[in-house]
């Protein structure tokens, strides 16, 4: 029944986290790019997660995805290279501070502009 030479499928165990899906990364990048497109400074600036929640909500709606919890957002942003600080719950309703690197901010703005162009091109047809 079981072959000794059979390849085992690698799956994360209880203590490992799975790699973030491409969809989650796309939603986060879109949200960060959309935030910047509104004239807000993002790169190398510490922001309360609450300041970014609106952008994440709009991006989730755009990609027809469920909104992420604060912990999911913090984890996903950290995987994109953002610096995440947790603050006590009595300090903020959404207890994270986020500092996005200039490189990630540029990548997010580029991704947002590409998506925006795709939509505009489809509307022209």
Q: Is residue 12 part of a domain?
A: no
Residue 99 DSSP label = E
Q: Is residue 8 part of a domain?
A: no
* Count of structural domains within the chain: 1
Q: Is residue 10 part of a domain?
A: no
pLDDT tens, position by position, for the chain (125 residues)? 545 554 445 555 544 444 447 789 999 999 999 999 999 999 999 999 999 999 999 999 999 999 999 999 999 999 999 999 999 888 878 899 999 999 999 999 999 999 999 988 888 77
pTM higher than 0.85 for the full model?
A: no
Backbone angles phi, psi at 55, to 5 degrees: -65, -40
Domain range for 94 is 22-124
Tokens of 69: 């919890």
Q: Is residue 4 part of a domain?
A: no
C-alpha–C-alpha distance, residues 77 and 24, integer Å: 10
Q: Is residue 73 part of a domain?
A: yes
CATH number at residue 34: 1.10.10
């Amino acid at each position: 029944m079981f072959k000794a030479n059979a390849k085992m499928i690698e799956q994360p165990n209880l203590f490992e986290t799975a790699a973030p899906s491409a969809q989650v990364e796309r939603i986060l990048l879109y949200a960060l790019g959309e935030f910047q497109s509104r004239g807000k400074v993002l790169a190398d600036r510490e922001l309360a997660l609450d300041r970014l929640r609106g952008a994440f909500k709009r991006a989730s709606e755009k990609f027809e995805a469920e909104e992420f919890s604060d912990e999911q957002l913090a984890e996903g942003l950290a995987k994109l290279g953002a610096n995440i600080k947790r603050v006590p719950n009595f300090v903020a309703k959404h207890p994270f501070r986020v500092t996005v690197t200039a490189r990630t901010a540029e990548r997010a703005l580029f991704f947002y502009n590409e998506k925006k162009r795709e939509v505009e091109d489809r509307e022209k047809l």
